[in-house]
């Protein structure tokens, strides 16, 4: 694998305000503010021990300076790529969103619905931006070998379109993916298959320790995977766990404590109203330290129960491949087409998690909830919220005791194509480092 770290630059004088008070920055070349340099230094400190091979950047100074600060501990020269430059906003550049909405009401409204549907007056389209940014990233990756780690520093709009493209997300996921200043997005690229998988999105724990409450009034879900068991890959030969009621091993118990400490530290900024877990022991054990610290009951919910692998349950992957070669190959290539003998399909699981989302969102409007599930359960839930086809399941990583943060945008568990939930971070594991 080639490891790709995609980073938005640090703060400038114009990175203030949100919504109608935000400005279109684009190709206007402004320097980092003092706070932005501090964010870049925090990112550099976070990555100082990572084996970085190369650092690439947009040529605009706010990105280039961020990249130089990140590259310094590794004694790397930053390579500027014009394809990573911010969007050409044409006549919108420098204007407040409120001003653009008044002067171009129909075009701005279309852009807010689908940024890929318009061409900005005097500027470029989001589709053109995506194509040039992807071309620049792919051209850079082509010069590197398996095992290398590459950093790309760019801009909010570029990071959003690249995150969607690399994850295989539909265009309308653009507004669902949050990209904070100096947030880390991690992808693994498999040259043989020419595919990218998502290792993490919008990780900002080096800047804001803990888990911040996401802006907005909607229900917020902190989704965590249970800690490690003796059947997980990190403990030996991975097995199909499913409904087997396994306990956490010593590593898993330590991961559960670390997860609890992470969330307890932010109890004032992110007050948790309810705790839910799969009924299986490994999930209940993962949630138990947090429940004890918060003094709240942990409720077992069948919607979070692991998939029923049927006759695959308990087998190692090698054993499953030997006993059921065609079905195992299909599971790895097109998992949505598999129904496990004597067990469930991903469609069955997706129906369960959809019902779960509807129930908890209705029961806890505007509150923050913690859900602890399983690898496949959490992958299906993430795919469902992002409108990602279930055959893309393997492109979404969910590490033991990692967490995701979602905020409901509107009423109901899911809107058209999953647009009702916003992703603030995905597979955040910094509490485990």
185 in a structural domain? yes
Q: Which residues of the chain have pLDDT under 70?
A: 17-20, 209-216, 235-236, 267-269, 410-419
Query: For residue 203, what pLDDT is reported?
Result: 93
* Boundary-marking domain end, from 177, 203, 229: 203
Are residue 409 and residue 348 in the same domain, yes or no? yes
First and final C-alpha spacing in the chain:
21
User: Are both 191 and 156 inside the same structural domain?
Assistant: yes
Kindly report the CATH number assigned to the domain that includes residue 305: 3.40.50.1240
Residue 210 in domain? no
CA distances (Å), origin 150, targets 43, 51, 297, 419 = 14, 9, 44, 31
Q: Strand pairing partners for 405?
A: 222, 425
Q: 228 and 90, same structural domain?
A: no
Which pLDDT does position 216 carry in this prediction? Answer: 59
Does residue 299 fall inside a structural domain?
A: yes
Domain count, the chain: 2
Q: Check if the beta carbon of residue 274 is closer than 8 Å to that of residue 367.
A: yes
Q: With respect to residue 43, please indicate whether it lies within any of the assigned structural domains.
A: yes
Q: For 99-132, how does the pLDDT look when each residue is reduced to its tens digit (9 = 90+)?
A: 999 999 999 999 988 999 899 999 999 999 999 9
Q: Are residues 98 and 229 located together in one domain of the fold?
A: no
- Residue 29 sits in the same domain as residue 172: yes
Q: CB neighbours (10 Å) of residue 426?
A: 28
* 177 and 236 in a common domain: no
Q: Note whether residue 76 is domain-resident.
A: yes
Residues 178 and 229 placed together within one structural domain of the fold: no
pLDDT at position 237: 77
Angle at 238 between CA 164 and CA 387, to 5 degrees: 20
CA–CA gap between residue 323 and residue 314 (Å, rounded): 13
- Whether 234 and 361 map to the same domain: the answer is yes
Domain that holds residue 154: 2-203
pLDDT recorded at residue 22: 82
For residue 377, tell me if it sits in a domain.
Answer: yes
DSSP secondary-structure letter at 213? P
For 90-152, give the DSSP string.
GGGTT-BHHHHHHHSHHHHHHHHH-GGG-B-TTS-BHHHHHHHHHHHHHHHHTT--TT-EEEE
d(Cα 201, Cα 159) in Å, to the nearest integer?
A: 10
297 and 245 within one domain: yes
Asked if residue 235 and residue 134 are part of one domain, the reply reads no
Asked if 136 and 98 sit in the same domain, the reply is yes
Domain boundary among 168, 203, 238: 203
Q: What would the two tokens of residue 241 be?
A: 């766990």
Residue at which a domain ends, from 203, 235, 252:
203
Same domain, residue pair 236 and 375 = yes
pLDDT (tens digit per residue) in 394-410: 999 999 999 999 998 76
pLDDT at residue 171 in the model: 85
Q: Cα separations (Å) of 85 from 137, 374, 384?
A: 12, 39, 32
Residue 211 inside a domain? The answer is no
Domain presence at residue 209: no
């Amino acid at each position: 694998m080639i490891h790709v770290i995609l980073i938005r630059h640090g703060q400038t004088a114009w990175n203030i305000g949100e919504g109608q008070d935000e400005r279109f920055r684009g190709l206007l070349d402004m320097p980092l503010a003092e706070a932005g340099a501090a964010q870049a230094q925090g990112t550099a400190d976070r990555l100082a021990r990572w084996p970085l091979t190369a650092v690439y950047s947009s040529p605009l100074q706010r990105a280039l300076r961020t990249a130089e600060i990140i590259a310094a501990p590794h004694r790397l020269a930053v390579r500027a790529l014009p394809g990573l430059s911010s969007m050409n906003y044409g006549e919108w550049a420098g204007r407040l969103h409120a001003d653009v909405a008044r002067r171009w009401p129909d075009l701005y409204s279309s852009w807010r619905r689908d940024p890929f549907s318009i061409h900005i007056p005097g500027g470029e389209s989001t589709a053109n931006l995506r194509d040039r940014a992807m071309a620049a990233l792919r051209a850079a990756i082509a010069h590197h070998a398996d095992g290398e780690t590459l950093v790309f520093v760019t801009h909010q709009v570029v990071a959003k379109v690249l995150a969607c493209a690399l994850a295989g997300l539909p265009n309308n996921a653009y507004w669902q993916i949050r990209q904070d200043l100096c947030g880390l997005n991690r992808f693994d690229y498999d040259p043989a298959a020419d595919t990218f998988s998502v290792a993490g999105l919008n990780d900002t724990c080096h800047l804001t320790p803990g888990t911040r409450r996401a802006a907005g009034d909607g229900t917020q879900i902190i989704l965590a995977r249970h800690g490690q068991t003796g059947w997980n890959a990190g403990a030996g030969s991975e097995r199909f766990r499913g409904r087997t009621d396994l306990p956490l091993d010593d590593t898993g118990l330590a991961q559960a404590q670390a997860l609890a400490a992470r969330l307890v530290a932010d109890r004032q900024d992110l007050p948790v109203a309810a705790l839910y877990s799969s009924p299986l022991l490994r999930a209940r054990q993962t949630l138990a330290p947090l429940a004890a610290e918060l003094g709240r009951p942990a409720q077992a919910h069948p919607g979070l129960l692991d998939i029923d692998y049927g006759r695959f349950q308990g087998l190692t992957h090698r054993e499953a491949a030997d006993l059921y070669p065609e079905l195992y190959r299909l599971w790895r290539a097109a998992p949505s087409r598999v129904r496990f003998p004597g067990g469930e399909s991903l469609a069955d699981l997706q129906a369960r998690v959809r019902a779960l989302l509807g129930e908890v969102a209705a029961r806890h409007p505007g509150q923050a909830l913690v859900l602890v599930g399983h690898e496949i359960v959490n992958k299906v839930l993430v795919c469902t919220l992002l409108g990602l086809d279930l055959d893309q399941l393997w492109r979404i990583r969910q590490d033991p005791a990692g967490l995701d943060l979602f905020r409901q945008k509107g009423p109901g568990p899911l809107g058209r194509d999953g647009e009702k939930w916003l992703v603030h971070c995905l597979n955040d594991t910094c509490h485990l480092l």
